[in-house]
């Protein structure tokens, strides 16, 4: 349960670490990304970065993001094995900083209307459900190298 006492430190981390300058801006950008998922994120795909064809394991294409979530350091949209993935990355200086950014993003996603479905045994991954985007899988995860937020839209044949 989120209380005022637990929410304040997370919001402070958002401001200090630059995870998201404002919750409203984050939620608005998140809504645009969720809405674009039904078309394989076509509306927010930027320049094609790479196209790798492998006769054994299929093909992978990667685009730059035209819409990046506030505070994210990098972002990409890829297609691989009939699924489009929008992935935003937050890169911090340490595992502890990644854990703080992860907690702040967890609070933000909940504040934007996403519902937790399940948390991993390690506590380093959370699966969410977005009511307005029922066809998307949403995963927030972190490790020593980064925090990663991925939205996956499945069932798209070769682009």
Lowest-pLDDT range, 38-42, 48-52, 95-99?
48-52
Give the percent of the chain with pLDDT over 70: 83
- pTM for the model: 0.81
Distance of CA 39 to the CA centre of its chain: 17
Question: CB burial class (10 A; 0-12, 13-18, 19+) of residue 19?
Answer: buried
Which of 33, 13, 5, 16 minimizes the C-alpha distance to 108? 13
Residue where the block lists tokens 């839209």: 153
Mean pLDDT of 24-36: 94
Band of pLDDT at residue 54, cut at 50, 70 and 90: low
Band of pLDDT at residue 56, cut at 50, 70 and 90: low
What secondary structure does DSSP assign to 97-118, as a single string?
A: HHHHHHHHHHHHHHHTTEEEEE
Backbone angles phi, psi at 148, to 5 degrees: -130, 130
The better pLDDT of the pair 15, 105 is held by 105
The better pLDDT of the pair 1, 110 is held by 110
Mean pLDDT of 111-127: 91
Tell me the pLDDT tens digit for each residue of 69-98: 999 999 999 998 889 999 999 999 999 999
Report pLDDT for 16.
44
Does the pLDDT value for residue 119 go beyond 80?
yes
Beta-strand runs (E) in 3-158: 45-54, 58-65, 74-80, 83-90, 114-119, 125-130, 136-142, 147-154
All residues at 6 or more sequence positions from 85 whose CB lies less than 8 Å from its CB, including other chains: 77, 78, 79, 150, 151, 152, 153
């Amino acid at each position: 349960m989120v209380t005022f006492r637990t929410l304040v430190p997370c919001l402070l981390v958002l401001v200090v670490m630059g995870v998201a300058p404002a919750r409203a801006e984050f939620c608005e950008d998140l809504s645009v990304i969720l809405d674009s998922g039904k078309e394989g994120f076509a509306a927010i795909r930027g320049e094609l970065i790479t196209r790798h064809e492998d006769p054994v394991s299929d093909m992978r294409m990667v685009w730059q993001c035209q819409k990046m979530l506030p505070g994210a350091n990098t972002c990409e949209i890829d297609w691989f094995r009939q699924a489009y993935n929008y992935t935003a990355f937050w890169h911090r200086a340490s595992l502890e900083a990644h854990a703080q950014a992860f907690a702040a993003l967890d609070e933000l996603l909940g504040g934007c209307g996403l519902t937790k479905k399940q948390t991993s045994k390690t506590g380093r991954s959370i699966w969410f459900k977005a009511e307005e985007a029922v066809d998307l899988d949403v995963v927030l995860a972190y490790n020593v190298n980064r925090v990663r937020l991925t939205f996956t839209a499945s069932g798209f044949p070769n682009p």
